[in-house]
Structure formats: structure tokens, C-alpha cells
Amino acid sequence: MRVLLTAIVVLLALTGCSSKQPKINTSQSLVMESSVLSAGITTDEPTIGERDGQQRAATVLFNQQEMPVQVNYRFYWYDDKGLEIQPFERPRMVVVPAHAKVEIASQLGNLTASQVRLYLYL
């Protein structure tokens, strides 16, 4: 019985030591609270590119409502191993006018950044 229990514990420990590189699931590159959708704001996942020798992530927010909406957001940057890059970016705010669109972006000088996550909330 002890041998079986020890084998199970060792197997579970080895499973946790997988060499597989963690990546952000593409469905996780955009995290939007339901209140943002209820307020009429829609967007696509952020795209990453290079500008002026820095990594840049950007997306466009669309307001489908009759009134302006204040949206808070924060970009989280990750390296190719899935580790969050410091210094952490501070949360920001933008007002999206009625029936209009606004581009939001984040620029980072750390060229090891290869993944980004955008978090939107009211």
C-alpha cells in the first residue's frame, strides 16, 4: 500500500515538472468584465508589433451606445516563458465617445516581451 501511495505522489510531482513552455491562451489575451460589454463597449484582442525599437500592443475600443463610456484598462506583458515582465504598467482610463472608437496602446522597451493581456473594466 505504501509503495502504491509513494508511486502516485512521485508521478504527480513529475507531472508538475513538465518542460512545456507556458503560453497565454489566445482566449485569455483579452479579459473584459461583463459590465464593459453591458455598457456597449466592444473590442478585439490586442495585436503586438514593434515601433521605434519597442514592443507595442494596441486595440480599438468601439462604443455602441448613445452616451460616452469611461473605461479603465491595464496591459500585462509576458515573456516567451509566460512570466510577467516588470515594472508593471499602471491602470489607465479612457473615455470612449458615443458611437465612436478609440485606440488604446501600451509600449514597452523590453524586447523579450512576446505576449500581452489586456484587462478592461468600468
Q: In a structure prediction context, what are the per-residue pLDDT tens digits for the chain, which is 122 residues long?
A: 665 555 555 555 555 554 444 555 544 899 999 999 999 999 999 999 988 888 999 999 999 999 999 999 999 999 988 889 988 889 999 999 999 999 999 999 888 888 999 999 99
* All residues at 6 or more sequence positions from 100 whose CB lies less than 8 Å from its CB, including other chains: 62, 63
Q: Which of 47, 44, 55 is nearest to 101 (CA)?
A: 44
Cβ-contact 114, 85 below 8 angstroms:
no
**Residues 97, 7: Cα–Cα separation, whole Å:** 61
* Domain range annotation of the chain: 22-121
> What is the pLDDT, as a whole number, of residue 69?
97
Q: Determine the pLDDT at residue 32.
A: 94
pLDDT at 80: 87
What whole-number distance in Å separates Cα of residue 104 and Cα of residue 41?
Answer: 13
Answer whether 75's CB lies under 8 Å from 117's CB.
yes
Question: Which of 3.40.50.300, 2.60.40.3230, 2.120.10.30, 3.40.50.1820 would CATH assign to domain 22-121?
Answer: 2.60.40.3230
| Alpha carbon distance 70, 75 (integer Å) | 17
Q: Write down the pLDDT at residue 2.
A: 61
How high is the pLDDT of residue 19?
A: 47
